[in-house]
Amino acid sequence: MIIHLKNNLSQERIAAIAQQTESIYTKDSNGTDLLIASSKLKVLPAELEADVEAVFPMSTDIQLASKDYKQETRKVTIGNVQIGGDSRNSIVIGGPCSVESLEQITQSAELMKGLGITTLRAGCYKPRTSPYSFQGMGLEGLMLLAKMREQYGLNIITEVKDSSHVNDVIEHSDIVQVGAKAMYDHSILKACGKARKPVLLKRGFGTTLQEFVQAAEFILSGGNEQVMLCERGIRTFETKTRFTLDLCGVAFLKEYTNLPIILDPSHAMGYRYGVADLARACLAMDIDGLLIETHPNPEVAKSDASQQLNHEEFTAMFKSLEPIARAVNRTLV
């Protein structure tokens, strides 16, 4: 249940109501005092009615993210770019899997700038499956990304691996990416809830849609409304692709949630030959953005070499998206 409180209540009274209803307290972007209780609470205790403006009983713990609560897609502002809300923008986020050197990330930034793409991605803290794989450049890589923002006017997004560096990523990035392997880390989710900065939350590869959106609820209930959901493929019985891109799940998220939806065909496919086709299919679903990996020379990439497009392939793919964007009344940014 979502409870809208009247605006004349003291903090002591709010705390008492929160305790009685076992609720989380937050404020929305309009300054309304909210309490969010478990969806098991269906009826407000009668003695609290005088303190309450409105109540929204919910069928599941998908609550703040539910269209049953807020029908319109939430607005997310990234620099001077808006997605969601009344915007028809679809953001394209491009760049290498990892920051590897000044030369490599500079070439990537120049490509994004030349194509009119506003957001550069690259990992600095890499949650690798093997301890012997490249773990990222850490803070040094983050400073290189910040330099690209200053030099080229790009927004930057990079991933949080664990709570040891979450504050650095929040401080220096424009979008905080919570990766598939970190989706269940409540310390990261709660830090993002306090950050008031755009967050891209990736779906875990073994995560149900309910679990995925409930992870977003941790951020929303912390007061940060700027949350985007990212479908990046789930693990199925199939072995010929890295993962299986769940477009059926995307249809569900569009129908039932109020959060902007970004798709990542690179991690889903795992092989560059299929990424462009998947990107076109994703955009045709009228989604809010794409996350696609590209590297100046993928053959020597230190991570995920097989799925990264080279710059010529990325350019051709991007140009092929433009007529699809027009067909679904979208603008690529």
DSSP 154-172: -EEEEEE-STTSHHHHHHH
The pLDDT of residue 130: 86
Listed as own residue / partner, the contacts of 245-248 with beta carbons closer than 8 Å and 24 or more positions apart are 245/269, 245/278, 245/282, 246/203, 247/281, 247/282, 247/285
Task: Classify 113 as helix, strand or coil.
Answer: helix
- pTM above 0.85? yes
**Identity of the amino acid at 43:** V
Backbone angles phi, psi at 7, to 5 degrees: -85, 5
List the structure tokens of 328. 């679904």
Angle formed by the axes of helices 209-220 and 186-195, to 10°?
Answer: 50
312: closest CA among 149, 38, 115?
Answer: 115
- How far is Cα 44 from Cα 34, in angstroms, rounded to an integer? 14
Distance CA 196, CA 13 (A): 26
> In this structure, are residues 199 and 178 in contact, taking their beta carbons and an 8 Å threshold?
yes
Tell me the mean pLDDT per 10 residues along the chain, length 333: 96 97 95 96 95 97 98 96 96 97 98 98 90 90 97 98 93 96 95 95 97 98 97 97 97 98 98 98 98 97 96 98 98 97
pLDDT at residue 204 in the model:
96
